[in-house]
Amino acid sequence: MEHQAFMQLALAEARANVLEGGRPFGAVLVRDGQVIARAANGIHLDHDPTAHAELLAMRAAGRALGSPRLDGCVIYASGQPCPMCLAAMHLSGVAAVYYAYANADGEPYGLSTAAVYAQMALPLAQQRLPVQRLTPEGEEELYRAWQERRP
C-alpha cells in the first residue's frame, strides 16, 4: 500500500468513530508496508482522557509486536497529533508521522491542540499548569535500585 491508502484507512477509522458518537480521529500504524494496528479515538467509550487514536494504535502495536519499541513504524493519523501523542511517538521510536488535518483545520470546531503546544513550549515556571519538583528528604535510591535490578 502507498501513503495515500494508509491515510484513507486512518480517515475511515475517524469517520466510523463519528458515526458511533466519537471524535473524528483515527490512526493506523504501519511497519514494512503492513498494517500492525488501527484505532479510533475512544474517549467517549470509557472517559479515558488518554484514549487518543494514535495512543490506542501504539498500545495495540506494542502488544502485537511484543515490545514497547516501535522503531521503523509509521503512523497515519486523521488529525495533527497532540503533544501527548507526539511525545509517545518520540519515546517509542516511531520513524515518521503523517496527518490529514492540521490544528488550523480543527480550530473552528474546537479540535485544535495548538494552545497546548504553545503552553508546552514555555519554560515550566511559565506554564499555566504548576509543575514543581518535590523530592522527600532521604529519597535517593529509586533510580539506583532500578539500575541494579535490570538484566
Confidence of residue 151 (pLDDT cuts 50, 70, 90): confident
Q: DSSP strand E in the chain: where?
A: 26-31, 34-40, 73-79, 96-101
Rounded Cα distance between 75 and 79, Å, is 11
Which domain covers residue 16, as residue numbers?
1-124
Q: Is the pLDDT of residue 96 over 90?
A: yes
Residue 134: inside a domain: no
Residue 140: inside a domain: no
Catalytic choice (20, 54, 140, 148):
54
Number of domains in the chain: 1
Q: What is the pTM for the complete model shown?
A: 0.92
Residue 86: inside a domain: yes
Strand partners, 28: 38, 76
Residue 8: inside a domain: yes
Q: Is the pLDDT of residue 66 over 90?
A: yes
Strand partners, 38: 28
Which residue in this structure is represented by grid cell 497532540?
Answer: 82
Would residue 54 show up in a list of annotated catalytic residues for this protein?
yes
Residue 131: inside a domain: no
CATH of the domain at 10: 3.40.140.10
The pLDDT tens digits for 4-50 are 999 999 999 999 999 999 999 999 999 999 999 999 999 999 999 99
